[in-house]
Structure 1
Amino acid sequence: MPIPLPPIPDEQQKIADCLTSLDDLIRAEEGRLEALRAHKRGLMQRLFPAPGQTTPRLRFPEFRDAGPWEVKRLGGVFAERVERGGNRNQLLSVTMERGVVPTSDLDRRTNASSDLSNYKQVRPSDIVYNSMRMWQGASGVSKNFGLVSPAYTVVIPDDGQIPEFWGYYFKHPSSLEKFTQYSQGVTSDTWNLKFPTFSAIKMAVPPAAVEQQMIADCLTALDDLTCAQGETIEALKAHKKGLMQKLFPREVG
């Protein structure tokens, strides 16, 4: 099959150099993205106590002399939301990476029943978790009103608790270890963490809401940087795709 080629070798080289430099730029930006993700993982390890500890390795200057975090049962920090149905009919889902999102934003088919009367209500700042996947990190803070499957658990942080802090804390390896330990079932496919068991779990908690807020703000800012970096990479990839469409001839019929 004949393929149209530039008659001058220099033109081939310039096209190759152009696309190679763009590939190098994309790889460099992907390296920066991975560095941000690694930085967050390391920061999470230091901002929250290690297993068996009540004081994190890294604290903001205002709290370095504040003493250890207080150990509390989660039932003393959260209440379960039990309202069902109602007119808040936007369906929400819990994902590992994105937390609580409208189901319509996901590229997957919903198995929701047409009768939503048994679905659980969710309000902004509630924390929703997948009862069968909490040990894997399937939880998040809701930004929306909506409804979730009865298979999910919805908890309400008490006054003075910062939902975003808990959203991050529940993803920490030491927390996932506790959720694994307390999940009930014969095999991992059937493990379940309902609210009565969840409420019995003990975790170290900063006594001051302002410390919770500062931790949440720090990690949120890092997430925003990571998101922006991901968008930069996607824009570069789209630019390369468009450039290739222009640098090479269209298929001749």
Structure 2
Amino acid sequence: MRSKSDKKKSLVPRLRFPEFREAGAWEVKRLGDVCVIRTGKKDANEGHENGIYPFFTCAENHIYSNSHSFDCEAILVAGNANVGQTKHYRGKFEAYQRTYVLTDFSDINTQYLYSYLGGNLQNDMALQVQTSAMSYIKLPMLKNYKVPAPRNPTEQQKIAHCLSSLDEVIGLQAKKVQALKQHKKGLMQQLFPA
């Protein structure tokens, strides 16, 4: 049986920024304790192709709406279909009734939380998902989801900045790959006879 000190040691990451190497163990927080979690209220068929506000559903990409129910910074979590898929948004938006909207963050850096959820939530929820005709998660499952976090907000911010910088590089590389694919397609049309 492990002692309490052994459990705390397990909450120290292998890789840490130099200035935080002696900062001690991280703590575990319940998601429901660090933010407000609610669902959207709209049905997906209320979206409008030419709407002006993003409308987050459980699909990979958002649609649009002519109205908004939220005007804040939020992490959006797919509650069915792509269970646990996360998105981050700041501003006016609409949300589908099975999309969880996390807002009003306290005692945790929002970007840190988004990075952690984006890297872990889908896989972790896959182990707990409820199934019927479509997979889904329930609000208590999300509220009780455990998030390890550094106690120091500056360390949380530094981790978030590091990971979001990498996301930007990945996004730029994806655009380059897409441009090269288009270039190849154009070349193929010219190099091969019709």
Q: TM-score, length-normalised on structure 2?
A: 0.72
List alignment gaps of at least 5 residues for structure 2: 1-8, 43-51
Is 1:126–2:83 an aligned residue pair?
no
Cα distance in 1 for partners of 2:63, 2:192 equals: 40
Closer/same/farther in 2, CA of residues 133 and 161 from structure 1, 3 Å limit? farther
Does the CA-based 8 Å contact 2:109-2:156 persist in structure 1? yes
Alignment partner of 1:179 is 2:125: yes
Which one-letter code corresponds to 1:145 in the other structure? K
Q: Kindly report the root-mean-square deviation, in angstroms, between the aligned alpha carbons of the 2 structures.
A: 3.3
Q: Which has the higher helix share?
A: 1
- Higher Cα Rg: structure 1 or 2? 1
The Cα of 1:190 is off from its aligned counterpart by: 4.2
Offset at 1:216?
A: 1.4
The equivalent residue for 1:162 is: 109
- Is 1:189 aligned to residue 146 of structure 2? no
What are the equivalent positions in structure 2 for 1:45-64 lying under 5 Å apart?
53-64=10-21
Q: Secondary structure at the match of 1:62?
A: helix
Query: Which of 63, 86, 92 pairs up with 1:103?
Result: 63
Deviation at 1:237, TM superposition (A): 2.4
Aligned counterparts of 1:93 and 1:83: Cα–Cα separation in 2:
9
TM-score (norm 1): 0.57
The equivalences for 1:55-74 within 5 A come to 55-74=12-31
- Equivalent position SS for 2:181: helix
| CA deviation map 1:129-167 (0-9, x unaligned) | 122357x43122123411111111111142442222111
Partners of 1:188 and 1:53 lie apart in 2 by 39
Quote the offset at 1:204 in angstroms: 1.8
Consecutive unaligned residues of structure 1, counting only runs of 5 or more, are 1-51, 105-111
Is this contact kept in 2: 1:71–1:202, CA < 8 A? yes
How far apart are 1:125 and its partner, in Å? 2.1
Superposed counterparts of 1:112-123, under 5 Å = 121-123=69-71
Contact 2:40 2:94 survives alignment (8 Å)? no
